[in-house]
Amino acid sequence: MDLQPTITQAFRSRFAAPPAFIIRAPGRVNIIGEHTDYNDGFVLPMAIDRAVWIALRPRRDRQVIVHSLDFDEAAEFSLDNLHKGKGWPEYIKGVAWAMQVERLKASPRGFVASAQPSGSARGVEGWEGVVTGDVPKGAGLSSSAALELAAARAFAAVSDLEWEPVKMARLGLKAEVEWVGLNCGIMDQMICAAAQAGHALFLDCRSLDFEQIPLPGGLSVAVLDTATRRGLVDSDYNERRAQCDAAARFFGVRALRDVDRQTFETRAGQLDPLTRRRARHVIRENERVSQAVAAMRRGDMERLGGLLDASHASLRDDFEVSSPALDSMVEIARQAAGCFGVRMTGAGFGGCAVALVRAEKVQEFSLHVAQEYTRQTGLTPSVYICQAAAGASLVPA
């Protein structure tokens, strides 16, 4: 949704002036490549047309003051005195902290890390503004990465720093891992920073090289929210990471990305069954991502859909991060007319599935899936038919 009028109006009524900058940073849905990012592997996410919006103006006193329309709450902090707290402001504070500890400063070449903290090398300037958004929170659509990258965009704007997507994604990740305390991979921050409208992002999570892959015409991306939630700052995610690391150690490689199918099959018999299943998911999922990119390029929707189906089975049976609600949703969508393929998306245990649907069938599909899901589970789902949006950007005020 275009929240520019809302955010502009909210800024005006609070500050009695127009904002100096308006920022939009999207949520994302991952088409395929799940639990591969922290294994240095491949992912194929797409930014969605649901976003975090910030309207702001600079402050020169090193204060940051942000009013959240969604939480009806204000946060204020000094860039010179950052303390950890709780809730949504931590994502903004974490980004401020990350930008400052990296001692980034503006230079004609963009961001440069300076050895000595001094003057403008303190990193960033303050600002005041309002924030809102329509990325559902806790649904696995990366509302937190969207807020981090929106904040990074805000600090970049008031501090006159060049926007370099990969560097900004790294800063967002640093905030998430070291400030917020969630040990996630870099997929969410990268797609939010680097997305191009109409495209999915084929990302190598080791080199951070990426390619923009055009979404084929006639294809709709439907996000199916199960209306079930599981917090991510959670032991299961870290446990999966630890199991993958153990498997990588077994194979004597830096990350599971470095194990090919043949090596896996030759030696897998020596692994304990659980670690073997975890590794098998990651190794095959990496293959599926490359195959999905090839299928997308050819416009081969049947093949692409089949890869999503296989990904779901693997996440359910080998990686064990699905849930009864997700499995029901996937099963219902799979049977519905027009569906090429469907799978759980994001970390799992709740949240959303993603379905690739024949465009002319998508309305009918959505209605049917929602009704049938309610009938079977008693829950009320949401269906978002998503367009592939651009990454975090300044919107002309």
Q: In this structure, what token pair is assigned to residue 126?
A: 């303050």
User: How many whole angstroms separate alpha carbon 106 and alpha carbon 157?
Assistant: 11
Q: Is 338 in the site for ligand GLA (CB under 6 A)?
A: no
- 188 carries an active-site annotation: yes
Query: Minimal distance in Å, beta carbon 347 to ligand GLA?
Result: 4
Q: What b/e readout covers 239-252, taking b as 16+ CB neighbours within 10 angstroms? A: ebbebbeebbebbe
User: How many whole angstroms separate alpha carbon 183 and alpha carbon 14?
Assistant: 36
Q: Is 38 in the site for ligand GLA (CB under 6 A)?
A: yes
Residue from 150, 169, 184, 201 binding ligand GLA (CB under 6 A): 184
Query: Cα-Cα-Cα-Cα dihedral of 322, 327, 330, 336, to 10°?
Result: 180
Length of the chain: 397
Identify which range of 31-39, 48-56, 72-80, 246-254 contacts ligand GLA by CB under 6 A: 31-39
Identify which range of 5-13, 35-43, 221-229, 351-359 contacts ligand GLA by CB under 6 A: 35-43
User: How many whole angstroms separate alpha carbon 30 and alpha carbon 195?
Assistant: 12
**End-to-end Cα, the chain, rounded Å:** 17
Query: Of 37, 40, 134, 188, which one is the catalytic site residue?
Result: 188
Q: Is 94 in the site for ligand GLA (CB under 6 A)?
A: no
Residue from 221, 268, 295, 347 binding ligand GLA (CB under 6 A): 347
- Which lies closer to ligand GLA via its Cβ, residue 185 or residue 381? 185
Residues 6+ apart with CB under 8 A from 189: 145, 148, 149, 168, 169, 170, 172, 173, 176
Q: Is 34 in the site for ligand GLA (CB under 6 A)?
A: yes
Residues 6+ apart with CB under 8 A from 274: 243
- Residue showing tokens 């969630």: 182
Element (H, E) at 279: helix 273-298
Q: Is 318 in the site for ligand GLA (CB under 6 A)?
A: no
Identify which range of 16-24, 70-78, 184-192, 336-344 contacts ligand GLA by CB under 6 A: 184-192
Query: Minimal distance in Å, beta carbon 165 to ligand GLA?
Result: 16
Query: Minimal distance in Å, beta carbon 184 to ligand GLA?
Result: 3
- Which lies closer to ligand GLA via its Cβ, residue 124 or residue 354? 354
Query: Minimal distance in Å, beta carbon 44 to ligand GLA?
Result: 11
Provide the binding-site residues for ligand GLA, judged by CB under 6 A.
Answer: 34-35, 37-38, 184-185, 187-188, 346-347
Active site residues: 188
